[in-house]
Amino acid sequence: MTDLPEPQPTVDDLSNLIPAVIPDDEADPELVTIGERYWALAGFAPDYGTPVWCEKTKDIDTAGWGHQIYVVAAAGVRAVVPGRKCPECGGPLSLASRTAFQQVCDGNDPACVECTESLLLAVRAVLDPARKAKREAAKAKAQAQQAVDEARARWQQVQQETVAKQYAAVFPSEHTTLPVVGVRDMIGALALLRYAPSTSPISEISAWPDPLHPDTSKIGSLLGALVRAGLLKIHPSSPVTAFVWVPETFKDALSEAEGDLCAVATPELTSNFYPLTARYYAPYGTSPGKAVETLDSHLASALDPAGMTAGHHDDLLAVAQELIAEEALRYFSNRLAEIHLPAVPENHSARLSEAAYKLAEHRTLGEMYNLVWRATRAAAEAAQKNPRAPRPHMSTHATNQFETHAHRAVADPDWEIKPFNEIPGHGPAAMTRALFYNVLDSSPIDTSLPQIKEALPPPIPSTAEKPSAPSDDDQLTITIEWLDAYPNSWNPEDVPAALSILKEKREETPEWHFEGKILARGAAQLHRLYERLAPTIGTRQAALAVLGATAMLVHPVTLKDSSLTNGEWIFGRLSGLLLGIPEADSDDEDDA
């Protein structure tokens, strides 16, 4: 007896065993195709004499007919080995699987398909009409879903192309004059440029570890103001979800079309967008990089306190107070979360903010951090002593404590409060850093508002005087530009107050009865516009928007034989009020 291996059959010997693939004439053509692919033989390995198949079984899609590929193949074809008989029934040797063919190559003939009862039962299950109907329904559903997915992809492609066209970034830029904006907006833009992870483009602002503004709810309106002013522009790489569309989504468009893919409306881009989702870039320069340098240099120069008027100094101090107060409120909210207390109830939030803003006029942020910590620690101790008390009551208790401390700190300047240093994991917001580090060159933790005011250089004299009535053809543009450039020279609250009076007036004399109604109706429309805009963009910008909207009121009215539109008449009254320009016919028009 020897250990020598048994001689392996040669490739020439095995080639005689290549099975003939015979399709079932009654089988579904898809099953026949699957079976032919399953039994497609490329040859034999020369060294081992094992079969080499054209495709691996895992690469053959059964198209939903079943999970066992050899069963699906048997439902469509028979692979018959020439010259071999089934050892059980004596009929032609049809192969049940590739494993059975390997047995034939090894000299061990298996039973044929007809003698393998388990395989026949599995084949009958594959061919069961109920299962076939279910499979065809699933296939139809998959095809319908594929059609929907393809339509959605085309719809989204149209959105992307629309955004790329509407917000194309053009360099060198067409305009070289940077717009004039307020101090707060300039500080926001400077913070974006200097503290964004990348300026090409500025993106994912809501994901910054330290937020742009201490109050994250104000970031959206700030970004919107910068875009409307033209200081920043929306980058064409912004996701389509950053914009408001009509229809709003593909799902809405498909619903409006009642499921008809051919009737789905083309997405239309509106002028509204979601500021925290959009991406931004600096638009003024020969290239994106140069534009950032140009804007940064412009902002640094414009925010230099030595070159500011007294009005801009006041704006700077107002922004400093806002940021100090909001940083303290941000720490207050974080402290509540740390000690597992809920946010301050909504009906107490205004009281908390009022205390913080009043305290920010007199104390440093470090001192305010100390008082916040004292107030929240007292709330945590109260919560431990009263475990059954409602948790919102403990947050209210913290608010009460802070309000008490703030009142004492304001009333008693000699009360020494040990200032905290910067809180670990609670760094100042980007705007706070930009104002104190880049503009004021001081610490946001240790610098109080009185210290800032005392350190400011003397303001430059304002060159603006009350203008005479503009002689240029476009009085509206000139007036709005002047009001925007000198925000401290007028009171935005005068606009809604004047509109409230105008919309209630009715002239009783016959010749003015009709015109009075027209003018009152136009004033009411502008007043509603102001009320909608003011909470979002602020009273000053809302007042300017109302002035600009007067040009859209074009109903003719007659004044002492001269014709003009109702918008021109209202604009004249508002601009005269804001600029102090007397109207030629003011005595007569006061009655209208």
The three-state DSSP-derived secondary structure of 337-377 is: HHCCCCCCCHHHHHHHHHHHHHHHCCCCHHHHHHHHHHHHH
Out of 148-162, 302-316, 338-352, 545-559, which region has the weakest mean confidence (pLDDT)?
A: 545-559
Q: What is the pLDDT of residue 444?
A: 96
The more confidently predicted of residues 522 and 367 is 367
The SS3 assignment for 67 reads: coil
Q: What is the pLDDT of residue 581?
A: 46
Is the predicted pLDDT of residue 280 greater than 70, yes or no? Answer: yes
Is the predicted pLDDT of residue 410 greater than 80, yes or no? Answer: yes
> Averaged over 53-64, what is the pLDDT?
91
> Averaged over 218-227, what is the pLDDT?
92
Q: What is the pLDDT of residue 468?
A: 43
For residue 7, name the pLDDT band (cuts at 50, 70, 90).
Answer: low
**343 close to 336: Cβ distance less than 8 angstroms:** yes
Q: What is the pLDDT of residue 467?
A: 44
Backbone φ and ψ for 464, nearest 5 degrees, come out as -85, 135
The SS3 assignment for 82 reads: strand
SS percent in the chain: helix, strand, coil, step 5: 55, 10, 35
Q: What is the pLDDT of residue 420?
A: 95
Percent share of the chain, pLDDT over 70:
90
Out of 87-101, 267-281, 441-455, 547-561, which region has the weakest mean confidence (pLDDT)?
A: 547-561
Residues 452-493: tens digit of each pLDDT? 999 999 998 875 444 444 443 467 887 887 787 777 777 888
Calculate the CA 92 to chain-centre distance: 69
Q: CA 461 → CA 312, 316, 364, 483, 563, distances in Å?
A: 11, 16, 30, 17, 41
Is the predicted pLDDT of residue 5 greater than 60, yes or no? Answer: no
> Averaged over 236-263, what is the pLDDT?
94
Out of 43-47, 194-198, 373-377, which region has the weakest mean confidence (pLDDT)?
A: 43-47
Q: What is the pLDDT of residue 54?
A: 94
Q: What is the pLDDT of residue 499?
A: 86
As a whole number of angstroms, the distance between CA 380 and CA 393 comes to: 11
Radius of gyration (C-alpha) of the chain in whole angstroms: 39
Contacts of 333 (CB under 8 A, 6+ apart): 343, 344
On the question of a cis peptide bond just before residue 392, with omega within 30 degrees of 0, the verdict is: no
* Average predicted confidence (pLDDT) for the chain: 87
